[in-house]
Amino acid sequence: MKGGEKKFFSHDESHGIKDFVNMNWIDSSITAVKGFKASGVACGLKKDEQPDLALIVSEKMASAAGVFTKNIVKGHSLQLTMKRMEKGQAQALIINSGNANACVGETGMTDAKTMASLVASKINCKPDDVLVGSTGVIGQPLNMHAIRGGIEKAVSQLSSDTKAGHLAEKAIMTTDLIPKEAVVRFSIGEQAVTVAGMAKGSGMIHPNMATMIGVIAMDCAVSQPLLAAILKRVTNRTFNRVSIDGDTSVCDMVIAMANGLSGAGTIQKETAEAEKLEKAIEAVCTRLARLIAADGEGATKLVEVRAEGLRSQEDAFKMVTAVAKSPLVKTALFGEDANWGRILTAAGYSGANFNPEKIDICIGSLKVCENGVALAFDEAKAKSILQEKEIVIKLLLKEGDAWDRMWTCDFSYDYVKINGSYRT
Amino acid sequence: MKGGEKKFFSHDESHGIKDFVNMNWIDSSITAVKGFKASGVACGLKKDEQPDLALIVSEKMASAAGVFTKNIVKGHSLQLTMKRMEKGQAQALIINSGNANACVGETGMTDAKTMASLVASKINCKPDDVLVGSTGVIGQPLNMHAIRGGIEKAVSQLSSDTKAGHLAEKAIMTTDLIPKEAVVRFSIGEQAVTVAGMAKGSGMIHPNMATMIGVIAMDCAVSQPLLAAILKRVTNRTFNRVSIDGDTSVCDMVIAMANGLSGAGTIQKETAEAEKLEKAIEAVCTRLARLIAADGEGATKLVEVRAEGLRSQEDAFKMVTAVAKSPLVKTALFGEDANWGRILTAAGYSGANFNPEKIDICIGSLKVCENGVALAFDEAKAKSILQEKEIVIKLLLKEGDAWDRMWTCDFSYDYVKINGSYRT
């Protein structure tokens, strides 16, 4: 699925999604958030002069929280950012694409620190307040000459224009084909608050975390522990529910920054405002997560896998994860073949506890299996459902009320093509 | 890798494999085992009049043991066989391909029982002594009219010719491109003992168990508990070390039958003879397992992933499993791209405990990463290694002496093609 934003919110039946239909969606970028400037420039890390260096700066120090990859191998830039996030504050974020700055030895940490220091010296803050992200190929030292020039240019082009935000988004993309941005606005008292997000991610995508970078900026004031808690919960329900290929990268991070410049009072724990904020952040992250799935490497379809009626949430999670990861399910979806036996098979080996004689399977609105037994179904109807750009697969039990969902995509020739020669 | 048997035993450095070089390998089929007859006929379940019904009969009742899929969804034929194996004896095995006899409701069990009864009535044994296997599409009732005719034909064609065994092998293949048979002979006292195996498996392949069926026949006499114990251990070291795509099917089984017709005395626990037998069975199963990996759907290469020097066997297993499953690693191998960052990434998210600053990675004889840091390496040499039909990837730690290995293959366009339209 390429483009066609509105479609991503068309499921009335989808838990979570329909709630966001009435959100006040803004067609803008991260610079829609008060006090945030951005830029995206080409410094030569990517071929063909594509933007590869993004800078995001808040006018004033922001509360900051982060969620990081659980891969025990971690890129150098990521390690630096994790350390700097401990204090819960940040003012700027510099991200390069085209090189992951990972597994290059001591140089890697030195380079990451240099990137932050260069930015700090130019925007007048402490190096400690600058976060660094890097995404791309592993095991090659950064071209610091290119980056030095790039940072100079990026600072000089910092702007609060919508376009500047779009360019920053472009600069963090790797194999992504569509930019991933989402902005919502809501009010706290008399004050308008804006939450904007941007993300990259297309391959090596799986929970905890994908090869993704996400930046969520907001202009409300929010206590740091609350921001961290909300980000963790929302990430779990959104970015951790996307699987492209089951691979988890060494460089993933989602960073949230809240600078308080909207003028609304500080949002505290367990208030109606906190709920509003969480919903806004979830709306933004849901949209980004679905865009990541839809833009999966080689994807031709966005697929939502849902499991409902299970005994425990853990069972539901195991089931959707196995189905969403199965190459056999995903190639069948690419081939528009209603091979539900593979869906049941994946559920069966998922480790989820369920009674195989109580499972129904639906592909879109078509029930193809009832109580574990094949139903005679209209192949033509199945085909027409599978030709859609957005497909919902449901596994329905009658054993409890736990449910979960995961977004994924189909598995096509292009996935193989893209990944057969990524590095060289 | 298609064909080229000898290559599969060329690694002097591979634990376990080199031990089998001096085995007395026989170029034959399952009928090389004294007292075993076989046949393979086309009854119309597969298109194009390909053999789709295999019958294997022992002249006399055999000790029997089985290892079965851990998928909680189980095909009807498999369920029947699991039940019948409880008594540890069997005389015949009827296997159809082209249809998994799974998820079709009560008919499925009735059909499986009918298959066994038809065979029993014709070869003069009890229905209980006939095992049934089915592999193919899920959710479609068996064409019992075709099977009735097929069984008649299969019984009439039972033979101890080598060719009859080859035909039986052909009849259990689904998307397999190469037949998988292995025969070894060794002596116990004055008596020659033969162990022969045949297997099918190409996609939906992963431990516990793959979409595979394996039959191991032998003419020694062996106590049933010992046979069961050996089969379990050997399966763990061989068939459970193959991963094509991470999917586990609902119809997998490996059956071992020992009929005692060699005339050698009964093999008992913990004797030199028991060791000899285990080694012979392992040789046969290793060869079959490697053939399954080499014949993975769309595979162009056989890949052995090894992890050595880890703190625990569990860590080593987790590491080789994650690397062997990673679509990103496997597409890079298809593209002959030495993208070792993906190998390290997969190790990192595998859940294995290791120090990422102590890991070396070798692609064939070429070290590409040392102590977690990229090495400058000769791209031309890397390319030439990756162009080989058989590749060994090693992840070397210096933290203990636990090791493991897994066989897999690369991930090509053809995998997508084969699986995009398997059912229709």
DSSP string, A355-387: -TTS-EEEETTEEEEETTEE----HHHHHHHHT
Q: Which range has the worst mean pLDDT, A241-245, B4-8, B333-337?
A: B4-8
**Alpha helices for B13-161 (secondary structure H):** 76-84, 106-123, 144-156
- Among B71, B73, B360, the strongest candidate for a mutation testing the A interface, having the largest count of A CBs within 10 A, is B73
Q: Which pLDDT score is estimated for A10?
A: 36
Q: How confident is the model at residue B243 (pLDDT cuts 50, 70, 90)?
A: confident
Judged against a pLDDT cut of 60, whether residue A5 lies above it is answered with no
Q: How confident is the model at residue A411 (pLDDT cuts 50, 70, 90)?
A: confident
Looking at the fold, whether B285 and B313 belong to one and the same domain comes out as: no
Q: Which range has the worst mean pLDDT, A207-216, B4-13, B68-77, B114-123?
A: B4-13
Nearest-10 Cα torsion for B351, B352, B353, B359:
-120
Judged against a pLDDT cut of 60, whether residue A408 lies above it is answered with yes
- How far apart (Å, rounded) are the C-alpha atoms in residues B163 and A19? 66
Structural domain total, chain A? 2
Catalytic choice (A114, A211, A238, A408): A211
- Show residues of chain B in contact with A382, CB under 8 Å: none
Q: For B337, which of A70, A328, A424 is closest by C-beta distance?
A: A424
Domain boundary among B278, B294, B310: B294
Q: For A72, which of B340, B356, B412 is closest by C-beta distance?
A: B356
Looking at the fold, whether A280 and A355 belong to one and the same domain comes out as: no
Judged against a pLDDT cut of 60, whether residue B202 lies above it is answered with yes
Domain boundary among A294, A327, A342: A294
CATH label of the domain that carries residue B201: 3.60.70.12
pTM: 0.81
- Show residues of chain A in contact with B415, CB under 8 Å: 327, 331, 416
Q: B 341-360 residues with CB below 8 A of A?
A: 341-342, 344-349, 354, 356
Looking at the fold, whether A275 and A308 belong to one and the same domain comes out as: no
In a domain, B20, yes or no: no
What is the mean predicted confidence (pLDDT) over B111-129? 97
Q: Which range has the worst mean pLDDT, B16-30, B174-188, B343-357?
A: B16-30
Q: Which residue from A87, A265, A105 is spatially nearest to B374, judged by alpha carbons?
A: A105
- Among B339, B358, B409, the strongest candidate for a mutation testing the A interface, having the largest count of A CBs within 10 A, is B339
In a domain, A3, yes or no: no
What is the mean predicted confidence (pLDDT) over B406-417? 80
What is the mean predicted confidence (pLDDT) over A303-313? 95
Residues in CB range of B19: below 8 A, 6 or more apart: B279, B283
In a domain, A18, yes or no: yes
Q: Which pLDDT score is estimated for A373?
A: 92
Q: For B341, which of A139, A325, A369 is closest by C-beta distance?
A: A139
Q: How confident is the model at residue A422 (pLDDT cuts 50, 70, 90)?
A: low
Judged against a pLDDT cut of 90, whether residue A48 lies above it is answered with no
CA distance B26 to chain A (A): 36
Looking at the fold, whether B132 and B273 belong to one and the same domain comes out as: yes
Judged against a pLDDT cut of 70, whether residue B172 lies above it is answered with yes
Three-state DSSP class for residue A388: coil
In a domain, B11, yes or no: no
Looking at the fold, whether B277 and B387 belong to one and the same domain comes out as: no
Give the percent of chain B with pLDDT over 70. Answer: 89
What is the mean predicted confidence (pLDDT) over A293-298? 81
What is the mean predicted confidence (pLDDT) over A300-308? 92
CA distance B328 to chain A (A): 6
**Which domain does A94 fall in, by range?**
10-294
- Among A68, A359, A423, the strongest candidate for a mutation testing the B interface, having the largest count of B CBs within 10 A, is A423
Judged against a pLDDT cut of 50, whether residue B7 lies above it is answered with no
- State whether residue A339 sits within 8 Å of chain B by CB: yes
- Show residues of chain B in contact with A71, CB under 8 Å: 345, 348-349
Q: For B344, which of A138, A342, A411 is closest by C-beta distance?
A: A138
Looking at the fold, whether B223 and B280 belong to one and the same domain comes out as: yes
- Among A69, A70, A72, A397, the strongest candidate for a mutation testing the B interface, having the largest count of B CBs within 10 A, is A72
In a domain, B49, yes or no: yes
The larger pLDDT score, comparing residue B178 to residue B65, is at: B65
- How far apart (Å, rounded) are the C-alpha atoms in residues A301 and A289? 14
Domain boundary among A260, A294, A328: A294
Nearest CA in chain B to A249: B345
Where does residue B376 rank: exposed (0-12), middle (13-18), buried (19+ CB within 10 A)?
Answer: exposed
In this structure, the number of other CB atoms found within 10 A of the CB of residue A12 comes to 8
Q: Which residue from A160, A174, A204 is spatially nearest to A99, judged by alpha carbons?
A: A174
Residues in CB range of B353: below 8 A, 6 or more apart: B310, B311, B312, B315
Judged against a pLDDT cut of 70, whether residue B190 lies above it is answered with yes
Judged against a pLDDT cut of 60, whether residue A208 lies above it is answered with no
Judged against a pLDDT cut of 60, whether residue A160 lies above it is answered with yes
Q: pLDDT (tens digit, 9 = 90+) per residue, A99-141?
A: 999 999 999 999 999 999 999 999 999 999 999 999 988 889 9
Residue in this structure with the two tokens 């890949």, named with its chain if needed: B303
Q: Do B332 and A415 touch (CB under 8 A)?
A: no
- Show residues of chain A in contact with B203, CB under 8 Å: 328
Three-state DSSP class for residue A13: coil
Q: How confident is the model at residue B221 (pLDDT cuts 50, 70, 90)?
A: very high
In a domain, A67, yes or no: yes
Catalytic choice (B31, B114, B194, B211): B211
- Show residues of chain A in contact with B379, CB under 8 Å: 424
Q: pLDDT (tens digit, 9 = 90+) per residue, A365-377?
A: 999 999 999 999 9
- How far apart (Å, rounded) are the C-alpha atoms in residues B115 and A248? 46
Three-state DSSP class for residue A122: helix
Looking at the fold, whether B154 and B237 belong to one and the same domain comes out as: yes
In a domain, A2, yes or no: no
Looking at the fold, whether A218 and A180 belong to one and the same domain comes out as: yes
Q: How confident is the model at residue B14 (pLDDT cuts 50, 70, 90)?
A: very low
CATH label of the domain that carries residue A401: 3.10.20.340
Looking at the fold, whether B223 and B83 belong to one and the same domain comes out as: yes
Looking at the fold, whether B200 and B271 belong to one and the same domain comes out as: yes
Q: Do A103 and B420 touch (CB under 8 A)?
A: no
Q: A 130-149 residues with CB below 8 A of B?
A: 137-140
Looking at the fold, whether A224 and A195 belong to one and the same domain comes out as: yes
Looking at the fold, whether A342 and A260 belong to one and the same domain comes out as: no
Using CA of residue A159, residue A160, residue A164, residue A170, what is the dihedral sign?
Answer: positive
Residue B238 is a catalytic residue: no
Q: How confident is the model at residue A210 (pLDDT cuts 50, 70, 90)?
A: very low
In a domain, B81, yes or no: yes
The larger pLDDT score, comparing residue B294 to residue A255, is at: A255
- Show residues of chain B in contact with A315, CB under 8 Å: none
Single-letter code of the amino acid located at B128? D
Q: How confident is the model at residue A13 (pLDDT cuts 50, 70, 90)?
A: very low
